Structure 1
Amino acid sequence: MQKNLMIYGSCVSRDAFPLLGPEYKLLTYVARQSMISAMSKPTDLLQGDTLSSAFQDRSLAGDIRSNLLQLVRRFASDIDVLVIDLTDERLGVVRLPDGTHVTRSHELVSSGRLKAVQGRTQDIRILTERHWTLWEAAATRLLGALSQLGLREKTVILNTPWAEMTQAGDPAPPLWNFDTAEVNAYFNECCAHMRSLGYKVVDLPAELRYAAVDHKWGAAPYHFGDSAMAWIAGQIQETAAAAA
């Protein structure tokens, strides 16, 4: 019997999808959209040309429109499993002069659209008190909306702490100037909040938290190996079985 999947997160979740087999269908994939941005109002301040990559253009346009809940509502009756991971929260957000927030993604920055904004913008980085305040409120609203749509039992949230080592035993490549332990502690707090709202959060086992040395998207502390991807696929299958 076919199972329908929606992913809200990053390549951490998306890369596990092919392991699920032909009985799973991916309804839609929302990436590069912080919960803060997703629960913000859409903005008209970031007009610009279409990006050359269809995926990047779709992600940026969706983030600017804050379209996550629109997509969830569209597919709610068909969703068997909703997968959420927090990896893209690493990007932080930008507060725009109209009071809205957008994810500070590579796509947004490289598009040059921020430079054309008239008025003051503010970068709000992860690990700051301001980010936490905005994120906690956004997560509470989002999960409340998912519960109203009957999706709580169909949702699995992945807590995938960043790797400190590669599979070869070398230090995992750093990301920007982040301290991996601080990022992991922050994501743990985020996941604890979502658990407190009655949602299923699963923790990637410590023995699988290794950065792949040959990952197709390059080296990063959140680009895990095949064993971690297999574990994620297993969690999706368990959620689907429990919700059936």
Structure 2
Amino acid sequence: MTALKVLIADDEPLAAERLTALMKPLEGLDLVGVAEDGVEALERARTHQPDLILLDISMPGMNGIEVARELASQPSRPAIIFVTAYDQFAVEAFEVAAVDYLMKPVERARFADAIARVREALEHRDPAGEPREESDYLTEFWASDLSGLVRIAAADIDRVSAERDYMRLHVGTRSWLIHHSMTALEKGLDPSIFVRLHRSAIVRRDFITGFARNASGRWIAQLADGSEQAVGRLYAERVREMTGR
């Protein structure tokens, strides 16, 4: 396992110590420095060229979002995990392509998951440090979780159901609410992977195991988890496109 060079940037000494302690049990992490504010974080990043920065958001002088934006302009930018006590910066974190967003106090298991996500993200970069492929469609979402905010890969979503002004993302036995519209999601999700079957439902194509007709002749999609999804009359043509009938 290749060691990751890690820089911690946090103006709270106890928080930095906590992150250092969380790193110790994990293999392949090499702490190359600790910065106490945003300006120092940039200086140390240029000196040590870390693979990963554990970056607080609320810091004196230059906040973590500003640091991440500055680093994004560099040829080989490090992966960023934001570690913060505030959840209102999730959208900005998404815009600067943070790999994860951890809420203080950070749980050990959640930290390990974030590090694994960094390794996966770095494996999918080309030698210049850029993603190997860019998609015109949504590839991930930030959603509220008991531990703070969690990043959900679009490809992991089984189905989406509408709940008034919110959309529920279903992944296995778990689900998360996001503030989005069904129309925007339909446009944003890759149509080769997802299909809208109802005004309030989008389903991943390979999560559909079959179709049947109910007593009134309307199509019902049979899903991999044993549940069913009614196909709206306006979307019946989608069934014919998928099945050739």
| Pairwise same-fold verdict (TM > 0.5) | no
Q: TM-score when scaled to structure 1?
A: 0.40
Q: With the length of structure 2 as denominator, give the TM-score of the two structures.
A: 0.40
Point out the structure with the larger strand share: 2
The higher radius of gyration belongs to 2
